[in-house]
Structures are given as C-alpha cells and as structure tokens.
Amino acid sequence: MQSFRTELENPIVEQDIIDLEKKIRLFREGAITDEKFRSLRLARGIYGQRQPGVQMIRIKLPYGKMTLQQWHRITEISDEYATSNLHLTTRQDVQIHYVSLERTPEMWSKLEEDGITIREACGNTVRNVTASDRAGIDPEEPFDVSPYADAVFRYFLRNPVSQEMGRKIKISFSSSDKDTAWSFMHDFGMIPKVKIIDGKEVRGFKVLVGGGLGAQPFLAKVVYEFLETDLLIPYIENVLRVFDRYGERTSRNKARMKFLIQKIGMEEFERLIKEEYKAIKVKSVPIDADAWDATQPPATAPVPAYSIKDPKKYEAWKATNTFEQKQKGYFSAYVKITLGNISSSISRQLIEALRPVIADDVRVTANQGLLLKYISPANLPYVFSVLEEAGFANPGFDSIADITACPGTDTCNLGISSSTGIAKVLEEVITDEFPDLIYNKDIKIKISGCMNSCGQHGIASIGFHGSSMKSAGKVLPALQVLLGGGIVGDGVGRVADKVIKVPSRRGPDVLRSLLHDFEINGQENELFNEYYDRKGEKYFYELLKPLTDLTSLTAGDFVDWGQAQDYATAIGVGECAGVIIDLVATLLLEAEEKLELSSVAIVKGAYSDGIYHAYSSFVQGAKALLLGEAISGNTQIGILNDFDKYFVATGKFSFEPDFKSVVLQINANEPTESFAKTYFQQAQSFYNAAQAYRQKSSELVQA
C-alpha cells in the first residue's frame, strides 16, 4: 500500500482543477454569486484572509506526513505563489498566505505532481485526518495506526456523503493509550487496541464520537471499547450519513456533530446509524497493514564535517527533543518551530543537510513542530548542528516553553486579538525568568485569537483566547484566561475552566503569578492540574483578580501585541463552515449538478455514489421550492417533512405514499445497479417537475 499515491494519476483530480479554473472565471464574470463561490473554493482548500483580495491555501497532509520531496515542493510553491513562509498548523496541515485566487488552479496542479492535495482542507467536509506524530515508531503503540489513518483519509476524499455537510468533521488516531492525538476533542477519535479472539491477535480501535472544542467544548462519548479495524470505515460512513441528513444547517454555531448528539440523545443517534447500514456501499473495509509501505531508515552515508557551538544547549536539546524509537538503535528528534512558522529557504537548507541521516518521512506535529525519524545515535550531534546553524535547535519541545498559537489577527477573519504576539512574549518570560521549565512537559500553554479554539486553548493547562474589554468608553484588547485542561489518557480529557479576563498587556503577569504561586504552594511531585484541582477555581480567580483593575491603565494597554496603533475590534466573516446564502436558482442549479454527478457515477458502476448524488438532488430541489415560498429548513430531514406539508399535502405535488418516503428509499435498499437506476430516474423526474413548477410560478408573478 502506498501512503502518498500521486493524485494526478486519477483523471478526476485533473478535472477538479479544470473545474476550479472555470468556476473562478464564471465568478469573476458575475455568473456565480460570491456566496456560492465561497462554498466551492473552501472545499478546495482556498480560504479568504482578513486582508481583502488574497487567499490562504491550506495544504492537506494526512496524519502530518511529508516526504522530503513533498516538503521541498511546498517550499517552491510558497516562493512562487505566496510569501516564502510555511505555517504548520495544529491539525498537521501546512498553510501558505497571500495567494492570488487566479493562480490557485496552477498552484494546485504543481502540488499534485508530488501527490499533495488541497482538496477538502476547508469547508463543510471531512478535514485532514490527524494522528500521533509518533505513529509507527512509538515504543508504546499496539500497532502502527498510519495505514488506517491513510485509508480513512482516502476513502472520504471526494466521497459524496461528505461534500456538503452542515459543518466540518475532524478525525484523529492516537498511537497509544496516552492519547496524544486527543481523541476526546474530535468528531471521531480512535485509540488502537489488541484483543485475543479464538486464539488470534485481532486489531481494533476504541472509538469515540461527538467531541469538539470551540466556544462550547464537548468531550467525546465512547461508542465502542473495541471495534475491529475492517468495520471502522463503514461505521464512520454510517455516522456521516446521519450527520448529513439530521445535522443543523442554518445556525452555524449549532451545526457540529456534538450538538446533534446533544439534541436527539445518544440512543436515538445510534438508532439512526443502524438505519443507514443497509445502504452503505461496503460493510467491511479490510486494510492490509502488512502491505503498508512502512518508513525505512536512511541508507548509511558519511556526514560532512560539523561543529557544535553550544555543547550545553546540545545536552538540553538531546534530553528534551529526542527519544528512542521502538525500532532499537534509532532515535527521533523533534524540531521546535516557534508559532509554526518556518521559511522556505530554511526548509530547503534543512532538507539538503538532513537528507543523508533521516528517514524520508517527516511529520508535522499537532503543536506546530516537526518530527525527524530514524536517526542513528552517532548522528544526533550532526542533526543538532544542522538545526543550530538554521536557528531551530531550541530545546524544550512540547514543554511549557513550547507555546501553541493560531494566526489570530495576523490573517484570520475571526481573530479578536493577537495570539502570535502574546505567545512570543510568554515564551520569553519562561526562557528568561523560568529557564528550568524547559524540562517541564506537564504544563501546556495554548493560545487562540478568538473563542473558537484553533489554538486549542480549551484543553490547555494554561490557556488564553482573544477577547476585548471596555474602559472609559474605549475598547482594549483582552485575554480570557483558562486553567486545568489536558489529557488524562485512553480517551479521557479535561476541558479547561474559564477563570478570569484581563487586559492583553497583562498576560505576562498572569503567567508570572501562576508559575510563582505553583512554585511556592505546589506539593512535591504535584502536577499542575492536580494543584489546580486542589486549590480550586475560586482560588485562582482571587489570585489573578488584581490584574483586572482598569483604573491603572496606560496608553500602552490600548495597543495590542505586535501592533503600533490603538486596538479596534474588526472581526470579519468566518469561513470555516463555508456558510452560503441559499438562492432558489442556485439551489436548482446544484440539484441539476448532483444529477449529472449521479449519472456519471452510475455509468461507472459506482452505484452507492450515484444514489447519494441523486438523494442530494432531491434535497436541493425541495429546498429550492420551499425557499421560493419563504420556508427555510434547517436540516435535510426537516426539508423532507416541510415539502410534504407545504407541497404534497396541498396537492401541488403528488407522491406515493409521500415525498419523504420516496427520498428515504436510500436507507431501505442495498446500493444495487437496479435501485440506483430507478432512484436516479425518480430524482430526474422530480427535478424536471420542480423546474416546471418554478417556471409556472415565475410566469404568474410576472403576469
């Protein structure tokens, strides 16, 4: 099994790029509305920035894996199309910024030459599938989860079930019970398990669903203590079909899967999942992990002459940034990338210098760093010297001094206050005032520019998110302080408590107060969250309360970190959900496009895909006619019910026994050729009738 097959081998990819170019042209000509076009480009990894006229491109790297050639390709792309900077994200993607919209098809085609995709990196889709960066080399893993993460990524890429859901879906695979991929905060979280069944070792996963952070964090629920690996993909597909049909679509803030489970309850949710089982294309997806193209050590080669400038720093780096793999005789080394930003020139410098001594498998980590694999012990000093020369040899990876932060107000539309500026200052506080804490990997600091938790502040020991405050009629940047979040293990997590809000400029004093108090009052070998639990939320509120006093503000308090002028709230329209304004003509056009896709799929023998496209056409057509009557449904199942109420019960349309039953045949039938063709014809007939009804209605209005 190849982990990164070049997508250009697939003509669908080439057509995808051509289609994007065509849609950009139609958009510029005014033939496609901005709202419709936003949905289309987001599904292709193209995200509007805070700065008008330019785009952020999100490059989708399943489980964070890059070959050295892929890494090199991304650097060239950033040089040619962006700002020569690579931004590593908390979901193991790479983002580049300030890209011209017209150049995105050409850029995409160049990425695809090395098997790199941007498809479904944004929008209401299955986002990047993440995994523990140590997968495959983790001494504590029951088995390598990489083949399974890769299979899930490929199965749902362009899958019609997951193209236009009410909201995004996030999936993670942890490598062990330590749960370093945070299964408890994902829509789907998997932890590998092994059971002995009939005398044989069987692989499976503990499966959790319905987790999420954002403004209202939810811990995921365990649905299986052990689900055999070949049943995992069918289960995920069943859940996605339910989410697509019953999930909220009008209120963006209530559209994640966690809210659907909260609304209907877990028992009903599981009942609906079972209803979908008959209709899915495959009931089992075996994954031959033994055929997996596993990472290989580099060939033995001499290293160039080198010197280490700071031997003491090397020892600290070796202690905090390296570990021995499960493959005896090899080590891995983490590279601490401040705020996830690394230039393309430094990247190329590292690629060429490290190529002889590391595996052709570099992982982007969930805390915005890099992991280098299969280093022989004798080559660790050389690796450090290369990183030292490039300015990336800082010790303290994943320690309190390794702060995670989203881009915040630098580029994001939703940013309220700076996250990158304050992160830099807090790291300086730790390295300058608490240098011994570079060895502390218990306390995690995470920062988001708003409440949406892209910086994962909701699961931090010490978290901050951007906010604002008012004083004497003026607005100043602020930080919401959260405490007590983190990983417990085996699918159990802690959501941080919101404790207090302070002016942003006092963020360093918040950190000083917390660390000094912990140093003085913490018990021997007590972890920070244990200390927090022992003292209680009120204790920390009182500890930090003096920092909320607004009577002593200075002019500098009204200037955000990294800025020169007074702060002003300027929140744009967020695009993570790909919200679109539904117009009747646009919806009918989408219904027609779904029919075309259905026809193509059926001709190719992809009957399940053809059926689902036909189902989508039914829904879009019904939604269009309801909107023409000023009736807007907020779920697909609601649209089916409303169509029966306003169009079938009133005699405007005739269905036996009703519209909902005809459409939901999708659940009652196996995806056979016979049913696919019959269902397509029914959808085609409905679309024709819907167009005729709308034409007649328009003529009556004009008359």
Tokens coding 446: 């995470």
Burial of 595 (0-12, 13-18, 19+ CB in 10 A): buried
Q: Are 187 and 171 in contact (CB under 8 A)?
A: yes
Apex CA 27: angle with CA 581 and CA 48, to 5°?
A: 65
The helix or strand, by DSSP H or E, that contains position 163, with its residue range, turns out to be: none
Please name the fold of domain 1-122: Sulfite Reductase Hemoprotein; domain 2 (3.90.480)
CATH 3.90.480.10 location in the chain: 311-390
Does CATH place domain 404-558 in 3.30.413.10?
A: yes
pLDDT score for 416: 75
DSSP structure string for 546-609? GGG--TT--GGGGB-TT-SSB---------TT------HHHHHHHHHHHHHHHHHHHHTT-HHH
Phi and psi angles of residue 654, each rounded to the nearest 5 degrees, phi first: -125, 125
291's CB contacts (< 8 A; 6+ apart) are 1
pLDDT score for 572: 47
Q: Where are the beta strands (DSSP E) in 344-485?
A: 362-364, 370-375, 404-405, 445-448, 462-471, 474-483
pLDDT score for 262: 95
- 311-390 in CATH: which number? 3.90.480.10
pLDDT score for 283: 94
Sign of the C-alpha dihedral computed for residues 398, 402, 403 and 404 taken in this order? negative
* Nearest one of 623, 607, 614 to 682, comparing CA atoms: 614
β pairing state of 55-59 and 94-99 = antiparallel
We find that the CATH architecture of domain 124-292 is: 2-Layer Sandwich (3.30)
Q: How far apart are the C-alpha atoms of 269 and 198, rounded to whole Å?
A: 32
pLDDT score for 563: 80
CATH 1.20.120.330 location in the chain: 584-702
pLDDT score for 15: 78
pLDDT score for 699: 65
What is the mean pLDDT, run by run of 10 residues, along the chain of 703 residues? 42 78 82 72 78 87 97 97 95 94 89 92 92 98 97 95 92 98 97 95 97 89 98 98 94 90 96 94 92 88 93 97 97 95 98 97 96 98 98 95 82 72 92 93 93 87 92 90 96 96 95 97 96 97 96 90 73 43 70 94 96 96 92 92 97 96 96 97 97 82 51
pLDDT score for 2: 37
Share of the chain above pLDDT 90, in %: 73
* Nearest one of 635, 610, 631, 624 to 686, comparing CA atoms: 624
pLDDT score for 45: 78
For the segment 36-62, what is each residue's pLDDT rounded down to a tens digit? Answer: 677 677 777 788 777 877 889 999 999
pLDDT score for 579: 35
By three-state DSSP, how is residue 687 classified?
Answer: helix
Task: Classify 472 in phi/psi space as left (phi over 0), alpha (psi -120 to 50) or beta.
Answer: left
286's CB contacts (< 8 A; 6+ apart) are 229, 230
pLDDT score for 573: 47
Q: How far apart are the C-alpha atoms of 559 and 475, rounded to whole Å?
A: 10
User: What class, spelled out in words, does domain 584-702 have in CATH?
Assistant: mainly alpha
* Nearest one of 680, 62, 66 to 371, comparing CA atoms: 66
